[in-house]
Amino acid sequence: MSLALLFMDELRRTTPKEKRIGVVLPASFAGILANISIFLSGRIPVNLNFTLGSDINEEIIQRANIKTIITASRMVEKFSSFPWGLNRILIDDSLREISARTPKILVTYLMILIRPQWVWAKHKVALQGGEETAVLLFTSGSSGNPKGVPLSHSNILANCRQILALDLFKPKHKVLLNLPLFHSFGLSIGMLFSTLRGMTLVCTPSPLDSKLSIKAIKGEGVDIILGTPTFLRGYLKYANQDELSSIQYVVAGAERSPRHLIEKWETEVGCEYLEGYGLTETSPAISFNLVGSHKKYGSVGRILAGIECRTIDPHTGKKTSLDTGGILCFKGPNIFSGYWNDPDRSMGVLSSDGWFRTGDLGRVDRDGFLWIEGRESRFSKIGGEMVPHGRIEEELMDVLNLQVGDEPQLVVVATLDEQKGEKLLVLSSLDLTIEQIKSGLQKKGIPNLWIPRECIKVKSIPLLGTGKVDWRSIESMVLNRTSNY
């Protein structure tokens, strides 16, 4: 905390009038220090996705009116195409300067222990946030231009209290933090909740570096790892069984976990694989599976305390019964108040009485477990019938006897069709023909309307830095496709 206060003082001197400050750092001591210092100063951190192209980041920087970026020398060297043409604060240089003032660090530390209120007043620490914006996150832009999501202090603290009420995470636990801080899962749950709960954070800079993460897990005795299925597969691929023996809980989110992956973690590692659900707009957690009888395979757990849920028909917008399902809508203290400087888009998802329409299709069973059944945008209306892309992907995986691997091997997408409105295509990194796809699905009894009409061979299915499928790049591939009949 003493380092954070001293770095905060430097930020105030060098950026006296800036409300939002960019951060380009991985999950690390430096990344945590930068964010906490910005919070303490009463400003808003904007953690930028350095894995995106320069054009998108330039747009985000302009939209958020960012003048200064906190980063590190190695980040500048590694991501040379990032739009660095701003005021830069190199945190490695700043820490060397601060560390040279050892007596001041020690005095500040002791005063925090002895007279904390005096220290907060002396450094003019922002002690109350309420409904003011705490962080500004930009969604990954997997299916469109990134949306700015401001989360208030109240939103984030409400979600932290909701997670705390699960009584699962204890101060004694050690958490591996390698999820990017530009992602709500990494920032809100990985960094903020874990820090407020008093848990020990063990950081590695990238979830893609499975070997380094495994080394950290074994060396530090990590109890809890956070991740997406895409990243979690890497641990099982490279680790010996004893290297993961300290893990008690795997906390998974952001995408659906295949059952065989869950079972592999639980049988080979001997831990609990706990899947949850959330969105950036919900700070992010909505539901969570707990241990034992409080978990159902395939569901994303029970909805957290204080959150209301309802489902609506995707065509009529009328309310449906929860067990019948429809588009999921939520209301609660962790729900954001609207997109950054985008009232039209905000009105499209937020009702006047605070209900947030997610765009996810799902249902709640009679035991209170939430089931996610796809995205509204990943359905096509063909010949008047709603056709689910995800279901066709699952059927194709079964036809081809494929297991979910480190990367997706195929995706189903739609494009315009003059006769039926839309038609389906398969993008695949495998050597497939449309005849193989058609015959395989027909043998399974899949309706003719559901069967894709084209197959496009690609080198690989593009992914974002978060591990999710990059639907924007796929859309570009489809527009520039060469049909493979």
Please check the confidence at residue 379 and state whether its pLDDT lies above 80.
no
Query: Is the same domain home to 15 and 50?
Result: yes
Which of 138, 144, 148 lies closest to 346, judged by CA? 148
In whole angstroms, what is the distance from residue 151 CA to residue 338 CA? 9
Model confidence at 126, pLDDT cuts 50, 70, 90, reads: confident
Query: Is the same domain home to 305 and 403?
Result: no
Instruction: Determine, yes or no, domain membership for 59.
Output: yes
The pLDDT of residue 485:
34
Instruction: Determine, yes or no, domain membership for 364.
Output: yes
Helix (H) or strand (E) holding 358: strand 356-364
Query: Is the same domain home to 341 and 249?
Result: yes
Query: Is the same domain home to 366 and 446?
Result: no
Query: Is the same domain home to 373 and 387?
Result: no
Rounded percentage of the chain residues whose pLDDT exceeds 90:
51
We report the CATH number of the domain holding residue 13 as 3.40.50.980
Rounded percentage of the chain residues whose pLDDT exceeds 70:
94
The pLDDT of residue 482:
47
Instruction: Determine, yes or no, domain membership for 133.
Output: no
Helix (H) or strand (E) holding 91: helix 91-99
Q: What is the mean pLDDT of the chain?
A: 88
In whole angstroms, what is the distance from residue 410 CA to residue 163 CA? 35
The pLDDT tens digits of the residues spanning 229-285 come to: 878 888 998 998 789 999 999 999 877 788 888 999 999 999 999 999 999 999 999
Query: Is the same domain home to 354 and 418?
Result: no
Query: Is the same domain home to 377 and 388?
Result: no
Query: Is the same domain home to 452 and 387?
Result: yes
Model confidence at 221, pLDDT cuts 50, 70, 90, reads: very high
What residues pair up with 360 in beta bridges, in sequence order? 375
| Tally of CA atoms within 13 A in the half-sphere of 28 that contains its CB | 16
Q: Which of 381, 400, 423 is the last residue of a domain?
A: 381
In whole angstroms, what is the distance from residue 309 CA to residue 319 CA? 11
The pLDDT of residue 481:
67
In whole angstroms, what is the distance from residue 143 CA to residue 145 CA? 7
Query: Is the same domain home to 377 and 401?
Result: no
The pLDDT of residue 120:
81
Query: Is the same domain home to 123 and 160?
Result: no
**CA dihedral (462, 464, 467, 472) positive or negative:** negative
To 5 degrees, how large is the angle CA 137–CA 288–CA 267?
Answer: 115
We report the CATH number of the domain holding residue 285 as 3.40.50.12780
Please check the confidence at residue 405 and state whether its pLDDT lies above 70.
no
Instruction: Work out the average pLDDT over 28-56.
Output: 91
Instruction: Determine, yes or no, domain membership for 134.
Output: no
| Spatial contact of 485 and 200, defined as CB atoms under 8 Å apart | no
Model confidence at 483, pLDDT cuts 50, 70, 90, reads: very low
In whole angstroms, what is the distance from residue 256 CA to residue 304 CA? 19
Query: Is the same domain home to 315 and 407?
Result: no
Query: Is the same domain home to 188 and 290?
Result: yes
Number of structural domains found in the chain: 3
Please check the confidence at residue 140 and state whether its pLDDT lies above 70.
no
Residues 6+ apart with CB under 8 A from 247: 217, 222, 223, 224, 225, 269, 271
> Is 190 in a helix, a strand, or coil?
helix
Please check the confidence at residue 417 and state whether its pLDDT lies above 80.
no
Instruction: Determine, yes or no, domain membership for 154.
Output: yes
What residues pair up with 421 in beta bridges, in sequence order? 417
We report the CATH number of the domain holding residue 415 as 3.30.300.30
Which of 84, 93, 132, 98 lies closest to 2, judged by CA? 98
The pLDDT of residue 157:
96
In whole angstroms, what is the distance from residue 459 CA to residue 392 CA? 21
Helices (H) and strands (E) in the chain, counts: 17, 23
The pLDDT of residue 385:
64
Q: Return the residue matching tokens 């592999």.
A: 264
> Hey, what are 353's tokens?
């009485």
**Domain containing 435: what range?**
383-479
Please check the confidence at residue 406 and state whether its pLDDT lies above 60.
no
Model confidence at 432, pLDDT cuts 50, 70, 90, reads: confident
Please check the confidence at residue 98 and state whether its pLDDT lies above 50.
yes
In whole angstroms, what is the distance from residue 485 CA to residue 455 CA? 7
